[in-house]
Structure formats: C-alpha cells, structure tokens
C-alpha cells in the first residue's frame, strides 16, 4: 500500500536500531533498590527477553514491552512489524502471548488515516498470534513510535531463558541476518522490488511458528536476535550460561543483498554501538571481512530465534523448523568456557 507520509523521514533511527546500547543500559540500571521475590523467576538483572513471575506451580506470567520509530514508510506494515517484534520476546521465553496494550506516539499533524493504519497493522499481527489487544496509551510526540506491552503465560518448568546453554549444544538461528543494513539502504532507495518485499516479509513474520516447533524438543536456551545483533545476543547467552559460544561464519544465513551493501558502507549506527559493547569479548579464529563482522553486529528488527539444544535433538528439529523458517540453520555450538565468551570460526 502507498502512503503520502514518509514515516522513516520522521525518525533519526529506525526499528531496533534505535535501541540503547547494552553496555550503557546496564550502567544506568546499576545499583537501584528493588524488592526480592522468590516467585520472580526472571527479572531485569538477567539480561533476558522478558520477565517471568510464577503464579502457581504450573503457571507463570510473562511480561515484556517493545516499541520503536518507523522502519518502513507503509503505516500498516510498520504496525505489523512493531507488533511481531514485541510478541517475539514471549516466544523466546517458551511461552504463549495472550494480551497486549498499544504504545503509540504520533506527531500532532499526522493524518488520522495514517494513525489508524499503524494500529490496524498491530491488530492484524496480534490477531494472527491469538492475542487480544485490550487497550493502551497514545500521546503526541515529535516522531511516531509504536509497539506493544505484552502479557503471556508459560509453565515454570518449560520456561526458556538465554542463560541455560550447555556444552555440547548446537546453535540454530531461524532467520537470516542483514535487516539493519538493508533498511538503511532502503532509505537511500538502493533496495526495492523482490529484495525489499523479502525484507519486509521477514520482519513481519511472527516467531510463533518456530516457537510451536521447538516445544517438541528439549531446548536448553533461547533468545531472539534483535537490537544487539547476533554477537550481542550470543554474548549474553554465553555469559549467562557460563559457556563459550562458537559461531561458524560460513553457516550463518544472511539476506542475499546484505553483504554487498555492508561492503558499500550501509551500516546502521546501532551496529557500531553493538561492536563497542561486545567486541572485547569476541575472538576471531579466522579472519572475517569487516563487512561480514558488521552483519554480525547489525541490529535486527523482528529477528529470528537463537536456540541451544543437544546435537541429536537439533538435527531432528532443524527439518521441521525449515518448513516454517526456510533459512533456519545450525550456525555453531557450545563448549565449556574457553579463550573468549564468543569465538568466530570459518
């Protein structure tokens, strides 16, 4: 659908590229007083995707929120992508989202029809996910921001975190990298046609379908790859699990146009923030090009799931994942702590 409003021209950063750097965020939260509760299974101190609170022996509450400035100009598609991205955190915790609240900021001069289309996109993805949007909050602001606060549920014993990978696990990534690079190039009108459609389709795809598949397998650890890039989220998994993560560069799926565009310099600012945070904990055992490294740090909007599970189970799970995530791939493995938390291999 066409729109006269160029939404991406109204924001300085797009999608998850607007996310505050992980190192800065940790420093800002350090030292705050907080209550301790044995039923809080996952809090902000864990660097995980969402909080989890035990309600009963067989039911826990998942809470998360995510929102960002426009990453596309089509307001309906923007709403879809923002909602898919927010819902993803619940799937990454092994849960099922059930309720959501809209979070919306709009410029005072934005047409009501545009605002309606953003909301319609969010409702469309929520409906696909089986989620009820029960309300929300809208304010006027200099630039548009949209997202959801999401509530989901999970059995406490089936909860997934980013801090339970085990030596011997294989790592599976369910969506290719390169979203930040491609959306940066879209702004320069260098990506269009089938490449642009493929990019938009990927960002609007729910992780629901991958989440349904992995429930049949003994996944040890899971996170979704979003604003901190593959290396940032891999580092959080390695540190939380007390393991080393080995990534095999030749096996990491990327969108076809991503590497040439990265070589041309279309790298979002968020990738440099991610590099500054994570690079001291990453050791290259091969010599990746600067452009390929940029893709590993590239912030992903509505990115895929990164899964750690036993080798035999990963080999059984992958064909089923590939039916719903065509580029799902085994991209590495987990070992006991080694020379660095994250190691890059050929």
Crossing angle between the packed helical segments 269-278 and 179-187, to the nearest 10 degrees: 150
- Tokens coding 142: 């200099």
Cα→Cα distances 261→252, 256, 314, Å: 17, 10, 32
Q: Tell me the percentage of the chain whose pLDDT exceeds 90.
A: 87
Q: What's the pLDDT score for residue 103?
A: 98
Domains of the chain: 7-158 (3.30.1330.10), 169-345 (3.90.650.10)
Pairing of strands 329-335, 169-173: antiparallel
Catalytic residue selected from 13, 16, 243, 254: 16
Question: How does residue 1 score in pLDDT terms, banded at 50, 70 and 90?
Answer: very low
Question: Do 164 and 220 form a contact (C-beta atoms < 8 A)?
Answer: yes
Kindly report the pTM of this predicted structure. Answer: 0.92
Question: Do 334 and 314 form a contact (C-beta atoms < 8 A)?
Answer: no
Ramachandran category for residue 253: left, alpha or beta (phi over 0 → left; psi -120 to 50 → alpha) = beta
Q: Tell me the percentage of the chain whose pLDDT exceeds 70.
A: 93
Q: What's the pLDDT score for residue 18?
A: 57
Biggest CA-to-CA distance, the chain: 56
- Asked if the model's pLDDT at residue 2 lies above 50, the reply is no
Cα→Cα distances 15→47, 69, 186, 210, 246, Å: 20, 6, 13, 22, 28
Question: Do 81 and 71 form a contact (C-beta atoms < 8 A)?
Answer: yes
H/E element, 310: strand 305-310
For residue range 304-325, what is the model confidence (pLDDT) as tens digits?
A: 999 999 999 999 999 999 999 9
Mean of the pLDDT values across residues 206-230? 97
Q: What's the pLDDT score for residue 113?
A: 96
Question: Do 229 and 19 form a contact (C-beta atoms < 8 A)?
Answer: no
For residue range 66-81, what is the model confidence (pLDDT) as tens digits?
A: 999 999 999 999 999 9
- Asked if the model's pLDDT at residue 133 lies above 90, the reply is yes
For residue 334, the cross-strand partners are: 245
Cα→Cα distances 54→39, 60, 134, 271, Å: 5, 4, 23, 36
The CA radius of gyration of the chain, in Å to the nearest whole number, is: 19
H/E element, 145: strand 145-154
- Asked if the model's pLDDT at residue 90 lies above 50, the reply is yes
Indicate the DSSP class of residue 250: G
Based on the residue annotation, tell me whether 105 is a catalytic residue of this protein.
no
Q: What's the pLDDT score for residue 21?
A: 57
Question: How does residue 24 score in pLDDT terms, banded at 50, 70 and 90?
Answer: low
Question: Helix, strand, coil shares of the chain as percentages rounded to 5?
Answer: 40, 25, 35
Q: What's the pLDDT score for residue 287?
A: 87
Residue 28 exposed, middle or buried by CB count within 10 Å (0-12, 13-18, 19+): exposed
For residues 120 and 124, what is the distance between their CA atoms, to the nearest angstrom? 6
- Asked if the model's pLDDT at residue 151 lies above 70, the reply is yes
Question: Do 65 and 149 form a contact (C-beta atoms < 8 A)?
Answer: yes
H/E element, 278: helix 269-278
- Asked if the model's pLDDT at residue 4 lies above 60, the reply is no
Question: Do 276 and 22 form a contact (C-beta atoms < 8 A)?
Answer: no
Mean of the pLDDT values across residues 246-263? 97
Among 13-17, 106-110, 123-127, 282-286, the minimum mean pLDDT is found in 13-17
Average pLDDT over the chain, rounded to whole? 93
Q: What's the pLDDT score for residue 22?
A: 59
Mean of the pLDDT values across residues 149-171? 98
Mean of the pLDDT values across residues 95-114? 97
């Amino acid at each position: 659908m066409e729109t006269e409003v160029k939404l991406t021209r109204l924001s300085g950063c797009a999608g998850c590229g607007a996310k505050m750097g992980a190192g800065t965020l940790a420093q800002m939260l350090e030292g705050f007083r907080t209550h301790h509760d044995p039923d809080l299974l996952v809090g902000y101190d864990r660097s995980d995707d969402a909080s989890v609170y035990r309600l009963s022996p067989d039911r826990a509450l998942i809470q998360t929120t995510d929102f960002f400035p426009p990453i596309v100009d089509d307001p309906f598609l923007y709403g879809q992508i923002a909602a898919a991205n927010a819902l993803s955190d619940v799937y990454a915790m092994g849960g099922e989202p059930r309720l959501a609240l809209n979070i919306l900021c709009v410029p005072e001069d934005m047409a009501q029809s545009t605002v309606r289309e953003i909301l319609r996109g969010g409702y469309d993805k929520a409906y696909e996910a089986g989620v009820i949007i029960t309300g929300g909050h809208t304010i006027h602001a200099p630039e548009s921001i949209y997202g959801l606060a999401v509530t989901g549920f999970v059995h406490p014993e089936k909860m997934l975190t980013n801090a339970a990978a085990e030596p011997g696990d294989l790592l599976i990534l369910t969506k290719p990298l390169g979203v930040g690079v491609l959306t940066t190039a879209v702004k320069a009108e260098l990506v269009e046609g089938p490449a642009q459609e493929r990019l938009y389709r990927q960002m609007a795809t729910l992780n629901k379908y991958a989440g349904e598949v992995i429930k049949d397998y003994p996944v040890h650890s899971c996170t979704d790859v979003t604003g901190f890039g593959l290396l940032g989220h891999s580092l959080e998994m390695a540190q939380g699990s007390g393991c080393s993560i080995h990534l095999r560069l030749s096996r990491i799926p990327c969108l076809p146009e991503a590497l040439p565009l990265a070589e041309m310099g279309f790298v979002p600012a968020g990738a440099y923030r991610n590099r500054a945070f994570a690079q001291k904990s990453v050791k290259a055992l091969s010599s990746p090009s600067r452009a390929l490294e940029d893709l590993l740090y590239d912030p992903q909007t509505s990115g895929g799931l990164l899964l750690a599970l036993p080798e035999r189970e990963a080999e059984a799970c992958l064909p089923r994942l590939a039916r719903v995530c065509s580029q799902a791939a085994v991209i590495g493995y987990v070992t006991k702590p080694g020379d660095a938390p994250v190691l890059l291999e050929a």
